[in-house]
């Protein structure tokens, strides 16, 4: 499996709305904050990786649309008003796929998973399976800030079967004990940093399995 365009996005909460307006103008004004955050990172990754081919969108987070849930509870229930429909909140992660399709990408499949930080290797396993149906899989980890001084995170990479210039080959690591520990918050950033000055393979492990990253052929 080939990995392209590891993209790391950090946005201060105070700057978030302006970043969305700068990138998408009024295109996302009806989307919730979580969907906007997904699309900011996903579009940056696609800008680097290119447009060709059918696309699956697979993203995960630990907390999901955190701010929408808090707004529903704090602003609605506390005043005795009807809460925001939770099916709307649940759809927030999937809106990114629909928005990319509206922008002309051939999105054929989308999914969002709630995972623990150490379970990020499961996303690579899932993407490997999806590549039997999609030419490319856009894989991301997205977290809204849970504190005023913490940045929003939207980290993405593109996976495909065919080799490409500047790509990274990724395979399950046969010796997980020798791999460096990594979490969902940093594994894409570590692959991106390693790719800049790669001298040899990089092995990273989550809670239960590890993956090996090496320069593509």
In total, how many domains does the chain have?
1
Whether 186 maps to a domain, the answer reads: no
Whether residue 208 is contained in a domain is answered as: no
Angle at 92 between CA 88 and CA 94, to 5 degrees: 115
| Residues 1 and 137 sit within 8 Å (Cβ to Cβ) | no
Q: Determine, yes or no, domain membership for 212.
A: no
User: Looking at the domain assignment, is residue 215 inside a domain?
Assistant: no
> Is residue 183 assigned to a domain?
no
CATH number of the CATH domain containing 139: 3.40.47.10
Any domain includes 199: no
98, part of any domain: yes
pLDDT one digit per residue (tens) for the chain, 217 residues: 999 999 999 999 889 889 988 887 765 666 667 888 999 999 999 999 988 889 999 999 876 555 455 555 555 555 555 555 555 555 655 678 888 888 889 999 998 888 888 999 999 999 999 999 999 999 999 998 876 678 989 999 999 998 888 899 999 999 999 999 999 999 999 999 999 886 789 999 999 899 999 997 6
Strand order in the sheet with 152-160: 107-114, 55-61, 136-143, 152-160, 2-11, 168-172, 210-215, 202-205, 180-181
pLDDT, position 194: 95
Report the 10 Å Cβ neighbour count for 1.
Answer: 17
**pLDDT at residue 118, as a whole number:** 94
Structural domain span for residue 17: 2-167
Which pLDDT belongs to residue 62?
A: 75
């Amino acid at each position: 499996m080939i990995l392209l365009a590891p993209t790391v996005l950090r946005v201060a909460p105070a700057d978030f709305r302006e970043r969305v307006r700068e990138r998408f103008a009024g295109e996302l004004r009806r989307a919730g904050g979580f969907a906007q955050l997904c699309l900011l990172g996903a579009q940056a990754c696609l800008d680097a990786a290119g447009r060709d081919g059918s696309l699956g969108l697979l993203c995960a987070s630990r907390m999901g649309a955190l701010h929408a849930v808090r707004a529903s509870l704090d602003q609605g229930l506390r005043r005795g008003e009807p809460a925001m429909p939770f099916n709307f909140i649940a759809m927030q992660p999937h809106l990114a796929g629909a928005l990319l399709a509206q922008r002309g990408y051939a999105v054929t499949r989308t999914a969002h998973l709630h995972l623990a930080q150490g379970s990020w290797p499961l996303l690579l396993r899932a993407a490997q399976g999806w590549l039997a149906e999609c030419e490319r899989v856009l894989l991301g980890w997205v977290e809204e800030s849970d504190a005023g001084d913490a940045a929003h995170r939207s980290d993405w990479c593109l996976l495909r079967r065919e080799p490409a210039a500047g790509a990274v080959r990724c395979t399950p690591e046969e010796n997980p004990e020798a791999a460096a520990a990594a979490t969902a918050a940093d594994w894409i950033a570590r692959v991106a940093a390693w790719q800049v000055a790669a001298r040899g393979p990089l092995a990273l492990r989550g809670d239960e399995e590890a993956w090996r990253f090496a320069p593509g052929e």
